[in-house]
Amino acid sequence: MSSDNKFDVVIIGGGPGGYVAAIRCAQLGLKTACVDEFTGKDNKASLGGTCLNVGCIPSKALLESSHHYEQLNHGLENHGIKVTGVKIDVPTMIKNKDDIVSRLTGGISGLFKANKVTSFHGRGKLLAGKQVEVTNSSNEILTLSAESVILATGSRPIDIPSAPVDNINIVDSTGALNFDKTPKKLGVIGAGVIGLELGSVWNRLGSDVTLLEAQDTFLPAADTKIAAEAKRQFKKQGLDIKMSARVTKATSKGKKVTVDYEDASGEHSIELDKLIVSVGRSPNTDNLFAPESPIELDERGFIEVDEIWQTSQPSVYAIGDLIRGPMLAHKASEEGVAVAEVIYGEEPEINYDVIPGVIYTNPEIAWVGETEQHLKSAGEKIKVGTFPFAASGRAQALGDTTGMVKIISSEETDQILGVHIIGPQASELIAEAVLAMEYSASSEDLALTVHAHPTLSEALHEAALAVDNRALHIPNR
């Protein structure tokens, strides 16, 4: 084997876990290669995985575009701004999304070159002896050798037999990012993070959106008070959220799709222009390693790893959506850095208790740590403080006063156990809570921290004060 094909580390997967791992390995002086098979709309290699190409970034671009459109139509009157004749040009909006994706994925290629990471475009497969087989689009095969291998191939949308994706009328989350016009009637199977975000995009642009959620609890991972407020706001916006609704059959015919579903009141049928299937994701482990590989999977198909992300095969590691835990780009990135440092000989740690979750709807929803319902069910004695954005001067000036901040702390130690936000810029505000919890801060610590005025962050300050019934800008309980 040529020395050009021998590396200290080979990473299979160029998403937010894989490409970050590659960059960190190279920074540490390790000869590094990254194998990735994603092909962009231009039929060229496109690093960044699902997140940059068909996930986090493009969906946020569409959310932002649709939010601007919604504001022009309904959100600026109180500011004295009157706009008439507003139109949406969907192809231009999609092109803007694609341009953003192109710039960012191209940026990763630039970072690889700057850090001397060797990039291979093709499907990677782990063979015996820590060799990686790379098969390109022409079915040409190249074999790489490595001292260590990192598996970072991410996940894919789950298919359900009752609603087979045809990429015409029935689409997955990727297809929902590329409609050429606003569907008049849109259905979404699944009212989770992805379903809510995609449903919100097209609802703002004029679609009549119905979300069909099989579970009987709305956003079960979120704090119940936050979830209840979110559901109320989404319904107010016109999203028709049907709970305990199990889809039994979806039939695509012509330019329509008929969906049959069951709920507590019986059997129903609706006709739609488009249907998005968004019921979760599964790890991309198919054909990732040779059959004789000792790598073990759990009952749900995730790769088993130890405390340093090492699989059952020594010097082979797995990160991101391939292993248990929340399927989040920022989790994968932190694991990518950590594994690079493990390979280098360091002992990094990740605090999985303070990984934030965000839903980029309007209002935004963000949380970190435990929920009130979970702590109470575990018998924990807690204190809770809340502060509404309606009492925030900055939120009033923005004209966006929906929602609240909720802080939960230990009754005994006052240590912050969870922070939950629904409202303007929740995705940005949660960072302060994550930092506070990373350093085991108490609600008093946050209450003693001086916050600039007027800012939205003052809502965290006031919620921290409210934990001990000393909020200044709302009556205490």
The number of beta carbons lying within 10 Å of the beta carbon of residue 166 is 13
pLDDT for the residue numbered 288: 97
For residue 178, give the nearest of 57, 53, 94 by alpha carbon: 94
The number of beta carbons lying within 10 Å of the beta carbon of residue 170 is 22
CA distance 231 to 219: 9
C-alpha pair distances (Å), 80 with each of 75, 76, 120, 399: 10, 7, 54, 12
- Of 245, 261, 276, which residue sits at a domain end? 276
* pTM for this entry: 0.96
Clarify whether residues 29 and 59 are in a common domain: yes
Side-chain half-sphere of 74: how many Cα atoms within 13 Å? 8
pLDDT for the residue numbered 172: 97
Three-state SS at 473: coil
CATH of the domain at 224: 3.50.50.60
As a residue count, the chain comes to 477
Clarify whether residues 118 and 255 are in a common domain: no
> Which amino acid is present at 227?
A
> What are the tens digits of pLDDT across the range 34-83?
999 999 998 999 999 999 999 999 999 999 999 999 999 988 998 999 99
- CA torsion sign for 75, 77, 80, 82 is positive
CA distance 355 to 42: 35
Adjacent-strand bridge partners of 143: 133
Please spell the DSSP secondary structure of 226-283, one letter per residue: HHHHHHHHHHHTT-EEETT-EEEEEEEETTEEEEEEEETTEEEEEEESEEEE-S-EEE
Quick check: is 443 in a domain? yes
- Of 243, 276, 309, which residue sits at a domain end? 276
Quick check: is 163 in a domain? no
Per-residue pLDDT of the chain in tens (477 residues, 90 and over written 9): 566 899 999 999 999 999 999 999 999 999 999 999 999 998 999 999 999 999 999 999 999 999 999 999 988 998 999 999 999 999 999 999 999 999 999 999 999 999 999 999 999 999 999 999 999 999 999 999 999 999 999 999 999 999 999 999 999 999 999 999 999 999 999 999 999 999 999 999 999 999 999 999 999 999 999 999 999 999 999 999 999 999 999 999 999 999 999 999 999 999 999 999 999 999 999 999 998 889 999 999 999 999 999 999 999 999 999 999 999 999 999 999 999 999 999 999 999 999 999 999 999 999 999 999 999 999 999 999 999 999 999 999 999 999 999 999 999 999 999 999 999 999 999 999 999 999 999 999 999 999 999 999 999 999 999 999 999 999 998
By residue range, what is the domain housing residue 18?
Answer: 3-157+282-350
330 assigned to active site:
no
> What are the tens digits of pLDDT across the range 290-325?
988 899 999 999 999 999 999 999 999 999 999 999
Clarify whether residues 74 and 148 are in a common domain: yes
Quick check: is 138 in a domain? yes
Quick check: is 295 in a domain? yes
Clarify whether residues 151 and 289 are in a common domain: yes
Whether the Cβ atoms of residue 94 and residue 180 lie closer than 8 Å to each other: yes
Indicate which residue of 79, 374, 453, 473 is catalytic: 453
Contacts 24+ apart (CB under 8 A), 244-251: 244/213, 244/214, 244/215, 244/216, 245/212, 245/213, 245/214, 246/214, 247/160, 247/162, 247/163, 247/189, 247/212, 247/214, 248/162, 249/162, 249/163, 250/162, 250/163, 250/164, 250/170, 250/189, 250/275
CATH of the domain at 377: 3.30.390.30
Clarify whether residues 207 and 109 are in a common domain: no
Clarify whether residues 235 and 293 are in a common domain: no
CA distance 288 to 5: 19
Q: Report H helices in 293-452.
A: 329-344, 372-377, 393-398, 426-438, 443-448
C-alpha pair distances (Å), 252 with each of 120, 259, 280: 39, 9, 22
Three-state SS at 382: strand
pLDDT for the residue numbered 2: 62
**Domains in the chain, number:** 3
Clarify whether residues 196 and 319 are in a common domain: no
- Which position has the token pair 């997967």? 13
pLDDT for the residue numbered 212: 98
Quick check: is 476 in a domain? no
pLDDT for the residue numbered 1: 53
Three-state SS at 16: coil
Quick check: is 265 in a domain? yes
Task: Label residue 335 exposed, middle or buried (CB < 10 Å: 0-12, 13-18, 19+).
Answer: buried
CA distance 335 to 320: 7
pLDDT for the residue numbered 156: 97
List the structure tokens of 460: 């965290």
Task: Label residue 287 exposed, middle or buried (CB < 10 Å: 0-12, 13-18, 19+).
Answer: exposed
Clarify whether residues 331 and 360 are in a common domain: no
Quick check: is 59 in a domain? yes
Clarify whether residues 39 and 54 are in a common domain: yes
CA distance 97 to 62: 7
List the structure tokens of 62: 């569409």
For residue 437, give the nearest of 408, 458, 462 by alpha carbon: 408
Quick check: is 429 in a domain? yes
Q: Are strands 170-171 and 382-388 parallel, antiparallel or unpaired?
A: unpaired
Whether the Cβ atoms of residue 105 and residue 38 lie closer than 8 Å to each other: no
Clarify whether residues 60 and 189 are in a common domain: no
- Of 350, 372, 391, which residue sits at a domain end? 350
For residue 419, give the nearest of 342, 356, 343 by alpha carbon: 356
Clarify whether residues 272 and 290 are in a common domain: no
CB within 8 Å of 103: residues ≥ 6 apart: none
Clarify whether residues 370 and 423 are in a common domain: yes
CA distance 456 to 19: 34
